[in-house]
Amino acid sequence: MTPITPPAPVSDSPQYSRQYARALDSLHGLTLGDSLGAQFFVPANLPRLRQRQLPPTPWPWTDDTEMACAVFAELATHGRIDQDRLAASFAR
């Protein structure tokens, strides 16, 4: 999996910077939760999970994270959602 590299914010305003930082924090949390949650669908991880132990890394994320990254990138780059551009990014 490729590391997440967020696009640069489209505005330098303090309010936008705070919103951008909160959205990026949310995206990081979503990615971690998605990656961990996906491990519950890996049969080889079941014994460790039953013992409340974390499975070995790496934990790849799923298409849920990929789609959230696309939404974040669209908002961060353009300041709004363009449905056609977003749909095209989902297809890549």
What's the pLDDT tens digit per position in 40-84? 999 999 999 999 999 999 999 999 999 999 999 998 888 899 999
Per-residue model confidence (pLDDT) at position 20: 87
pLDDT computed for residue 24 by the predictor: 92
pLDDT at residue 7, as a whole number? 72
Whether omega for the bond prior to residue 58 falls within 30 degrees of 0, making it cis, is yes
Please report, for residues 58, 61, 65, the alpha-carbon distance to residue 47 in angstroms, rounded to integers and kept in the order given: 17, 21, 26
Stretch 85-91: mean pLDDT: 92
Q: What is the pLDDT of residue 17?
A: 84
How many degrees, rounded to 5, is the angle at CA 67 between CA 24 and CA 21?
Answer: 5
Q: Where along the chain do its domains lie?
A: 14-91
In angstroms, the CA 16 to CA 44 distance is: 44
Q: Indicate yes or no: pTM above 0.85.
A: no
User: What is the pLDDT, as a whole number, of residue 55?
Assistant: 96
What are the pLDDT digits (tens) for 2-52? Answer: 566 667 766 778 888 888 889 999 999 999 999 999 999 999 999 999 999
